[in-house]
Amino acid sequence: MPTVVFIDPAGHTHNVQAPIGRTLMQVALDNGVPGILGDCGGACSCATCHGYVDEGHAALLPPRSETEVFMLEGVPDLRPTSRLCCQLRVTEALEGITVQLPDEQV
Ligand code: FES
């Protein structure tokens, strides 16, 4: 099972085991990681699962859908590595991915 690293808004690191097929949003919530809400339950309609993925893993992720792009336009600090964690499913290739969570979801 891959390990995913979340860095919460306070700067604390959370190394968690991520089941294959679960989304990064679900993994964070399952493990009580602060800084992610997931208000819409993963329907890509709230953007409260925003995170910044490390550049080394970004290329391994599926491209943003039109809906994800639209939702990300509303986040306060959009960056090239911004993703909605509910749209990213865990695969073996994501071993060690680091996701920094923004301040706005505390
Ligand atoms: Fe709502 Fe990801 S949980 S957009």
Alpha-carbon Rg for the chain, nearest whole angstrom, is: 12
Q: Looking at residue 106, what is its pLDDT?
A: 85
pTM of the model as a whole? 0.97
- Report residues whose beta carbon is within 6 angstroms of any ligand 1 atom: 25, 38-40, 42-49, 71, 84, 86
Torsion of CA 31, 91, 65, 25, to 10 degrees: 0
Specify the residue with its C-alpha closest to ligand 1, atom 4: 44
Residue 21 has pLDDT above 90, yes or no: yes
CA 87/CA 64 separation, integer angstroms = 8
Looking at the 3D structure of the chain, how many domains does it have? 1
Residue 74 covered by a domain:
yes
Residue 82 covered by a domain:
yes
Domain containing residue 73: CATH number: 3.10.20.30
Q: Convert the pLDDT of each residue in 44-77 to its tens digit.
A: 999 999 999 999 999 999 999 999 999 999 999 9
Residue 5 covered by a domain:
no
Its domain, for residue 42, covers 36-96
Residue 16 has pLDDT above 90, yes or no: yes
